[in-house]
């Protein structure tokens, strides 16, 4: 464990994120003046890093070595400059101490492309934006150019979206066949929850009715049914959900209707026919890897053969926009394993490919696995990222959205690639936060985007039983947020 002591609050998130990025194998504990006294007494003698902040700078000690940061407020012109300046200093110091740098520099947010989007909107030259990433945030040239490339493509794709008068819809189905090793999403094994599904759908449809009444005058641009795994529903339940959805909302302007089928062990010919009959335009069939040994380790019950069979069934059903998700950095996988996965996926030729860098979540079983097997078993490198990007290129795909998460293997990113005309509109909207997204179901979060860019949220409870019990409360929360929408 690395213990970090700060003499003031409001820096703990940034410091924790940067320290964890440089020392991914370590747990990081932050002490601030507001920390509990018993915790401070217990960890005081174990402090590895200390930062004492002053009005004009800070004194930083790392394993006994002293580093001084000076802040000249006269050279700063904007709010937040003190913290940003410290983050640059702290990043450079950690580079010096560890002898390494990070591909995304000192950027710790999940939406690094928003920087490029904002600067493009101001008319800033592309090369200047690349230099901004590199000089201000120490981002590698490759990642800076990727950000600009994606930002340009996003602007083109979103040019037909109704930001002010429109909205998008998310519907959450929080059930899965099983819970994967790396997963921290709120999901419930369908085997033990079968009796709750119909009651859950009752409440979900009730929530739909109220949302449709409030948003009926708005243009619906995209609809995304995610989870969990929506195709854990049986065909009758799936048909009931989609019939209600299509009856309640005006789908005539919808540009994209996605259902995340996801797990191959939940996909059947009958379910695919149901989705297709309701005009679903885009689905996912997600292998994560095409190495059977890894699938067994992470608890994906569908075999490689089942993935290929599910994909073939989806094509036979008529789907011409199929996404596949992959995860790089899975336990024990090497560059050669990733290359074999990419080769098998390119043979299938999906229409889009979402390449995730494994993120280690505290709430997942992966955290315990790492303690037993070591973080070195999670190998994600520049080479694995390159292999995936080249595979997408061979399929004629371009990167169109990007996001990052905490504790990502290799400190890389998640990138969506797609063929022209097959870009995932909802994926871009959820990252860019330019349009209101009305979210329904347990664990979902509605985001209202105001004309001035302000964002307010309404969260539904995560627990299925509690969602069913408190559905009227969830509806009332959303009603208040969407008043005058």
Q: Which of 44-48, 169-173, 325-329 has the lowest mean pLDDT?
A: 44-48
Residue 377 has pLDDT above 90, yes or no: no
The answer as to whether 226 is a domain residue is: yes
- Average pLDDT, whole number, for the chain? 91
In a domain, 311, yes or no: yes
Q: Which of 176, 297, 259, 270 is nearest to 426 (CA)?
A: 259
- Say which residue the tokens 């909107």 belong to: 121
365 falls within a domain: yes
Asked whether residue 71 falls in the same domain as residue 171, the answer is no
Q: pLDDT at position 195, please?
A: 86
My answer on whether 353 and 467 are in the same domain is yes
pLDDT at 380: 79
Distance of alpha carbon 395 from alpha carbon 350, whole angstroms = 8
Same domain, 186 and 41: no
Specify whether 327 is located in the same domain as 420: yes
Q: State yes or no: pLDDT of 180 exceeds 70.
A: no
Shared domain for 286 and 413, answered yes or no, is: yes
Cα 2 → chain centroid: 27
Per-residue confidence (pLDDT) for residue 209, from 0 to 100: 98
Which range is least confidently modeled, 102-111, 159-168, 280-289, 367-376? 367-376
pLDDT at 188: 67
Verify that 167 and 80 share a domain, yes or no: no
Residue 411: per-residue pLDDT: 86
pLDDT score recorded for residue 16: 94
What is the structure's pLDDT at 49? 95
Which of 36, 51, 86 is a domain's end point?
86
Is 445 part of any domain?
yes
Give me the residue label for tokens 């008068």: 165
Would you say residue 76 has pLDDT above 70? no
- The token duo for 2 is 């690395």
Instruction: Examine the fold and report which residue of 68, 86, 104 is the final residue of a domain before the chain moves on.
Output: 86
What is the mean pLDDT of the segment spanning 201-226? 97
CATH number at 310 reads: 3.20.20.70
H helices of 285-434, where?
292-298, 304-317, 335-348, 366-373, 382-394, 425-432
Judge whether 111 lies within some domain. no
Residue 58 sits in which domain range?
1-86
Please tell me the predicted confidence (pLDDT) of residue 35. Answer: 87
* pLDDT-derived band at 366, boundaries 50, 70, 90: low
Q: Is residue 127 part of a domain?
A: no
Same domain, 233 and 344: yes
Q: What is the pLDDT of residues 224-283, one digit of tens each?
A: 999 889 999 999 999 999 999 999 999 999 999 999 988 899 999 999 999 999 999 999
pLDDT at 193 (0 to 100): 75
pLDDT tens for 295-350 read 888 888 789 999 999 999 999 999 999 999 999 988 889 999 999 999 999 999 99
CATH (domain of 52) = 3.40.50
Share of the chain above pLDDT 70, in %: 92
Element (H, E) at 456: strand 455-459
Q: What is residue 300's predicted lDDT score, i.e. its pLDDT?
A: 80
Give residue 235's region: left, alpha or beta (phi > 0; psi -120 to 50): alpha
pLDDT at residue 359 greater than cutoff 70: yes
The answer on pLDDT for 77 being more than 80 is no
Residue 414 covered by a domain:
yes
Residue that terminates a domain, selected from 30, 60, 86? 86
| Paired residues of 140 in beta bridges | none
List 455's β-bridge partners, or say none: 449
Residue 394 in tokens? 């061979």
CB burial of residue 420 (10 Å; 0-12, 13-18, 19+): exposed
My answer on whether 167 and 82 are in the same domain is no
pLDDT for the residue 387: 96
Count Cα atoms within 13 angstroms, Cβ side, for 201.
20
Q: Is residue 188 part of a domain?
A: yes
Number of domain units in the chain? 2
**H-type alpha helices, 172-303:** 190-215, 235-248, 269-277, 292-298
Confidence of residue 367 (pLDDT cuts 50, 70, 90): low
- Reported as type and span, the H/E element at residue 416 is strand 414-418
pLDDT (tens digit, 9 = 90+) per residue, 393-436? Answer: 999 999 999 999 887 878 899 999 999 999 999 999 999 999 99
pLDDT at 163: 86
């Amino acid at each position: 464990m690395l213990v970090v002591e700060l003499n003031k609050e409001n820096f703990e998130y940034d410091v924790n994120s940067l320290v964890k990025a440089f020392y991914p194998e370590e747990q990081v504990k932050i002490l601030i003046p507001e920390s509990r006294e018993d915790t401070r007494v217990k960890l005081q003698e174990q402090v590895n890093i200390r930062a004492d902040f002053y009005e004009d700078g800070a004194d930083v000690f790392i394993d006994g070595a002293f580093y001084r940061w000076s802040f000249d407020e006269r050279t700063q012109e904007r709010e937040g400059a003190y913290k940003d300046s410290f983050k640059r200093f702290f990043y450079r110091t950690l580079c010096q101490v560890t002898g390494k740098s990070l591909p995304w520099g000192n950027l710790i947010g999940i939406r690094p492309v928003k920087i490029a989007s904002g600067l493009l909107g101001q008319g800033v030259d592309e090369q200047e934006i690349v230099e901004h990433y590199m000089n201000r945030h120490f981002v590698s040239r490759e990642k800076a150019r990727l950000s600009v490339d994606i930002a340009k493509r996003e602007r083109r794709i979103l040019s037909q979206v109704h930001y002010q008068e429109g909205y998008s819809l998310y519907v959450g189905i929080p059930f899965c066949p099983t819970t994967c090793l790396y997963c921290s999403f709120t999901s419930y094994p369908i085997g033990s929850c079968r009796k709750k599904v119909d009651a859950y759908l009752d409440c979900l449809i009730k929530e739909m009715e109220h949302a449709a009444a409030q948003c009926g005058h708005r243009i619906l641009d995209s609809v995304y049914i995610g989870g969990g795994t929506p195709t854990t529903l049986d065909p009758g339940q799936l048909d009931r959900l989609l019939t209600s959805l299509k009856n309640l909302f005006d789908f005539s302007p919808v540009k994209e209707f996605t259902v995340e089928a996801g797990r191959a062990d939940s996909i059947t010919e009958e379910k695919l026919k149901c989705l297709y009959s309701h005009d679903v335009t885009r689905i996912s069939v997600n292998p994560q890897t095409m190495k059977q040994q890894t699938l067994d380790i992470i608890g994906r019950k569908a075999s490689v053969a089942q993935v290929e069979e599910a994909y073939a069934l989806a094509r036979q059903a008529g789907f011409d926009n199929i996404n596949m998700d992959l995860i790089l950095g899975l336990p024990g996988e090497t560059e050669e394993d990733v290359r074999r996965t990419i080769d098998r996926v390119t043979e299938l030729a999906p229409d889009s490919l979402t390449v995730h860098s494994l993120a280690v979540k505290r709430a997942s079983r992966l955290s315990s696995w790492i303690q037993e097997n070591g973080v070195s078993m999670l190998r994600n490198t520049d080479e694995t990222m390159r292999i995936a990007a080249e595979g997408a290129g061979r399929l004629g795909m371009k990167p169109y959205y990007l996001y990052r998460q905490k504790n990502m293997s290799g400190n890389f990113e998640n990138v969506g690639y797609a063929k022209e005309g097959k870009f995932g509109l909802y994926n871009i909207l959820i990252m860019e936060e330019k349009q209101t997204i009305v979210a329904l179901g347990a664990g979902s979060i509605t985001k209202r985007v105001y004309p001035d860019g302000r964002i307010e949220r309404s969260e539904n409870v995560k627990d299925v039983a509690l969602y069913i019990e408190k559905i009227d409360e969830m509806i009332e929360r959303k009603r208040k947020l969407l008043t005058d929408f």
